[in-house]
Structure 1
Amino acid sequence: MTDDLLLRVVGRRAVADRVVELDLSADGDAALPAWTPGAHIDLVLAEGLVRQYSLCGDPGDTARWRVAVLHQQEGRGGSARVHELLHPGETVLVRGPRNHFALEPAARLLFLAGGIGITPLLPMIAAADRAGADWELHYGGRTETSMAYLDDLRRRFPERVRARVEATDGLLDLDAVLGTPRSDTLVYCCGPEALLTAVEQRCAGWPAGALRTERFAASAPSGESTAFEVEFAQSGVTATVPAGRSIVEVAEDHAIPVITSCEEGVCGTCESRCSAADRTIATAC
């Protein structure tokens, strides 16, 4: 992970109802760290107020990073702060980029987006098209005016973009899109939890690893929470994590510092190596 960067808002425009696009740049247009489609950055909006937003611009543009932020009226205040305070000329502390939703090559790529979930898919679509891949996008939203970048996508890719407006067309027809498993296809999906759950259900019969998702919030845990033991290898401390508590909370009880951000299990800031199972787990958030 890169060091913190103080970036300046150099562009701002509305791209849909309650969605504002921001272009961020370092002073003097100094080169920003490289990123790949699917990556996100953290915006540090205040002390203890950190939010993650997908990079949705061009990875080849090393002078600017672009994000698009939906004002979540029932949210926890992060998006409201972006909309209210981040205007051209203002600065914001940025961390990242990180990528837990990386685009991988496949004979065929199927992109599914719900609302603001279109943002991480935009650079993926551009990369897939440049590579000459066989791809298609199914994009759903409540109204046309709420669907960011829809007009541009339709103009650029009229044969590959399938839009579904809930107000007039209903929900995405996932049975038609995902009803037949394909061994040559990777499915990338980002959007609200209801969409992700529905897609996961319909991809249950697809080959393992065919579905890749990115969530706005942590999914509800399955099964009953139980206590377990964890060893903090660098400190040599072994502690019990009670049911209903997180590893980070127990680490803090023992004065073991853990860097966190979203505290929901989404952003990957607290991701750590679990040596016993030889796999990566999110230890906190």
Structure 2
Amino acid sequence: MNSQQEYIQRSIHLKKDLLILVIKILVFIPITYTLIEYESYYNDKRVLQRLVYALNVFLSSNIIISTVRIILLSWYKRRSLYFHTSSRGSFVLGINRIASVLNAVVIIFSLMLAFGINPRDFLTSITIVAAAIALIFKDYITNMISGLIIMFSDQLTLGDYVKIGEYQGQIIDITLVNIVINNDDDDIVMVPNNFVFTTNIVNQSFQNSRKVSVEFELAINHTMDREDLKKRLNDLLNKHSNEVLENSMKLKVLAVQKDVVKYKVQFTLTNLGKTQSQFIKNIVLNEVLKIGN
């Protein structure tokens, strides 16, 4: 089971979500009832009234958000089953991110009510400040919007092996700010969401591709005939037929410069896997070092 499948399985637990929703409703109903029936009692206890009213607002808003979330996830699950399409975690991730943001806003508003602050008056008083904040954090805001577009576009999702500009690796998370990539060196790289829309992207997982590319350079005085180099590397890869499809190797000359010749060797793995890919890359690069020496 890959990363996106694990995420979907964790996220779409409709029975569990429905149970939690029912519990919220069962708590919400008596609180609402007491606010209506015992209004005079709460009028004498203003602090308690604010706290209970704030809790009531939080629960009512949270119930609406949870209900919409469950409906959308249920629709997406049924749609995937009906059209026999694979469920990609980005849509589920997007719904969960939006639900989290809305719940955070509801919590802030509820806390304002609990402390006796009128949210409407508060928002009116900070209109100019909010405009200044929006201007200062415009990159962050556009990053959030870009993140939502990425999530709902369904083009990138958890577990995809991608190349975004100079960064290459497996997507382990998509946040409202950046895409988190685990590269071939096991480094965690965070790529801003805006960057995705300004550079070329290669999604090998989307194409179910098992192709691996290795670029290297050879000094002019150590280079060899292209066909001889191709045969040497092809013979090397054929020794690892369990990992590499036989005779799937291609060798390209990328550039011939004053002191070096740049090459790219491409081959197809028998199975898509990060460990397997890195193992074969190391074998190729070790052979290149032998040629260079």
Which of the five TM-score ranges fits, normalised by the shorter chain?
under 0.3
What TM-score results when the alignment is normalised by the length of structure 2? 0.22
Relative contact order higher in (CA < 8 Å, ≥ 6 apart): 1
What TM-score results when the alignment is normalised by the length of structure 1? 0.23
Larger fraction in helix: 2
Larger fraction in strand: 1
